Amino acid sequence: MTELHEMDATSQAEALRSGDVSSVELVQHHLDRIDAHGEALGAFITVTAEQALERAAAADIALRGDAAPFTGVPIAIKDLTFTRDIPTSMGSAAMRDFVPPVNAYVVDLIEKAGFISLGKTNTPEFGLSSYTDNDILGPARTPWDTSRNAGGSSGGAAAAVSAGLVPLAQGSDGGGSIRIPASSCGIFGFKPSRGRVSAGPAGSDWSGLAVDGPLSRTVRDAAALLDAMAHPMPGDIRPLPDPAVPYVEWTRRDPGRLRIARWSGTHLEGIEPGPDALEAFDAAGELLESLGHEVVDIPNPFPQALEPQFNVIWSSGIAGVPLPPEAEAVLRPNTRYWRARGATASAIELSQAMQFLEATTREVVTRLLAYDAVLTPTLALPPQPVEWFNESGDPVEDHHRELLYTPYTALYNMSGQPAASLPLHWSAESLPIGVMLAGMSGQDGALFSLCAQVEAAAPWLDRRPAI
């Protein structure tokens, strides 16, 4: 018999509408899973059990009438994302007691779709790193091997989905922060196109790098969650209109025969993918060819010159986080390093960096128009031990190790293209190894069609960690 947490969110919604289960039962089942496994995984900074059960009781009443499509289905919200009257630490001891007075617009949209949040998932301080660790809760761990980090910065969300603590979760991605933990936790993660999801009302899309998106165990769930989130808010600076066709509908469409570029080399000198990443990459290319697609090997078209300019923008963003002077003393060394680095950048340097990224990636994306999609590894390395990134205590070495781990993902934050990590491979040590498919800017629906076709050919839903 299929257990409730083994069902994806779409199946859970169907079970709720048919009366096979109540929302109170469904929410309580997942809260029990959190009680049993959440602490060991470092998945949740805050669990909102009382509020969730109250909302589940209300959902059961609403389900008797004309309810929203995901009324009563559990979800989780990343602790970078504002939630009204719920602590939102942003993974920082300096923000431990911060309680936002408003929801992020994306939270309002998720609640409008009927989802019930069970709490706030673990994230590194200010979402800064590609692994999840902080001074509030500690590391998030992949359920496939709890000695290894879940990846970041949506590590708690990915661990929770992988372990069946929630069927899907909201994450955010400014340099790979959805796709990195999706790969390390063996689930599906989708970074939408730039401007697809609003950062309002209190957030900002000033750099054009970050966007909210879904982490899930199935492509259809990710599409459904993006359908809920993909609505601009008045005042957005880069709004894309509501999709003309729901993304869930795209998952039911045949993508047709596509021309897919692929490369495995990185744009960073001296950094190359490991054997597990290459094995996954080669197998994915063979799978795509077996589905009738033309797969074309090309050199990595992104130049190394992007990296230092990205760092100017990245460090300026963290330097711009408003904190009282006394908070500096409790920040992690890595955060202080990036804030100090960003503080040295002038307005002219920041402007030049942003113009360089825009012009350079525009040129790259224009050349990529000869193809319908792009295949690369998601990560260069498998999930790493929790102490590996910062064991030296040197933020410069920490940064170098993050580049060794994730040299591919940030390219699509710079270009604004949609990109997804698919859990198609496991190493000889039973560690999940994702592969990444990217689409053309604004063509999120077409990328969902391709991902759904791959999922149907090589399904992964029934492959779960043993917890």
Q: Which amino acid is at 208?
A: G
Q: Which of 81, 65, 71, 85 is nearest to 27 (CA)?
A: 71
The backbone torsions φ and ψ at residue 14, rounded to the nearest 5 degrees and listed phi first, read -65, -40
Catalytic site positions: 78, 153, 177
* Cα(91)–Cα(108) distance, integer angstroms: 22
Q: Which of 149, 138, 284, 158 is nearest to 213 (CA)?
A: 158
Residue 17 tokens, joined:
């509408």
Pairing relation of β-strands 373-377 and 294-297?
Answer: unpaired
* Cα(171)–Cα(34) distance, integer angstroms: 18
Q: Which of 34, 204, 208, 234 is nearest to 117 (CA)?
A: 34
* Cα(301)–Cα(376) distance, integer angstroms: 12
* Cα(223)–Cα(189) distance, integer angstroms: 10
Residue 296 tokens, joined:
């074309």
**Tokens 């590609």 belong to residue:** 130
